[in-house]
Structure 1
């Protein structure tokens, strides 16, 4: 496999991960109602966690990420953060705060990107498995390709998140306040659903070991 083909395949794999329904996409929809380019800030917050993680994985951190302790901590912490964000968003709706003034989730898209990356156990697991495989291949071409690979992967996240927030912002202008409030409620339910899933999945793992 040549370098260009590797980078193209890495971008495609990264896109499939970025476009999967999840808490980051739900948060992007919420932030998109306030700012059409908030996807950029979410992606930058995501990069603050992701780029150092790539370096740490090349140094052998993958063995730590795969441990039961890491899965338990990230699962419970991630679930708690998502439930808190959902509660905050629902509180804003109940108080009658309009979409463009709602503070949650995460208060700022940049902070949201950081928190949702740190607290997502599946994000860490993806990098400890699929991501590590891609990283290893990148290093096989030479260490100089590692930052290029990281940038290509991040561009997939950036493009998707910007597309989500831009589209949401344009749609919000058409839907009006009632439509935006309904969309915020859906986002809150989605965040709560993912939060409950993280917690239940982690508790099930602790009890049944799977």
Structure 2
């Protein structure tokens, strides 16, 4: 019962975080219009690999390092720069007509579909670029992990499984919804959508940099 309670709690807490708009949600929308419903699981795979690495580091006592104000500020600034770079790339591609909506499983002749590894890597990079993601794991995530570790390896597995399944479920649902609606979206609307996603990442990037310069972040 303890393992099930831990799994359920981790799932619900993880889902509450996944439901909040952020960089990963924005990239999921953008990638789903190109790749289809498979974009969600691929992005979450990269996200999950990164989170698994953080869990291992926390188990080895790196929580104090992650909560150091200097680390948080550095991640905020570097992450902001990465988001700005990705955002301006989206905007530039949309304005130049270099991005087009993929309506079927096969890519149009003039559209280069991103390789699978790039979608997976993007899931990890976009997560690492979000300083609030790292702060969550250094505080709330570390607290949950401490409780899970008391139940041994089974507790850690239950906690991580519940957490990552919440991400997988939500982003897969978002990707499937976007993919299902692609046939009703015009190329012009698609370009505006990508530009909007790019602008959102730009704004987040500047906010992260500003937060990094102002001082320690808070959840």
Please, what TM-score do these two structures have when normalized by structure 1?
0.91
Residues 99 and 184, structure 1, Cα contact 8 Å, conserved in 2: no
- Within a 5 Å distance, the mapping from 1:39-188 to structure 2 comes to 39-97=40-98, 98-100=100-102, 101=111, 108-188=118-198
Ranges in structure 1 where 5+ consecutive residues have no aligned partner: none
Does the C-alpha gap of structure 1 residues 22 and 110 become closer, same or farther in structure 2, counting only changes over 3 Å? same
| Offset of residue 80 of structure 1 | 0.5
CA distance in 1 between counterparts of 2:169 and 2:143 reads 23
Tell me which of 201, 210, 213 is aligned to 1:200: 210
CA distance in 2 between counterparts of 1:6 and 1:50 reads 18
Deviations 1:23-55 (A, max 9, x none): 110010000101221111101111121101101
CA distance in 2 between counterparts of 1:51 and 1:191 reads 25
Matched with 1:8 is: 8
Deviations 1:163-207 (A, max 9, x none): 11111122222122122112111111111111111011111228x
CA distance in 2 between counterparts of 1:205 and 1:74 reads 12
CA distance in 1 between counterparts of 2:149 and 2:3 reads 11
- The secondary structure found in structure 2 opposite 1:96 is coil
CA distance in 2 between counterparts of 1:160 and 1:202 reads 29
Moved more, 2-11 or 24-33: 2-11
Please, what TM-score do these two structures have when normalized by structure 2?
0.87
Does the C-alpha gap of structure 1 residues 187 and 20 become closer, same or farther in structure 2, counting only changes over 3 Å? same
Matched with 1:19 is: 19
Ranges in structure 2 where 5+ consecutive residues have no aligned partner: 103-110
| Structure with more helix by fraction | 1
Residues 172 and 179, structure 1, Cα contact 8 Å, conserved in 2: no
CA distance in 2 between counterparts of 1:95 and 1:127 reads 39
Residues 89 and 102, structure 1, Cα contact 8 Å, conserved in 2: no
Matched with 2:106 is: none
Question: RMSD across aligned C-alpha pairs, in angstroms?
Answer: 2.0
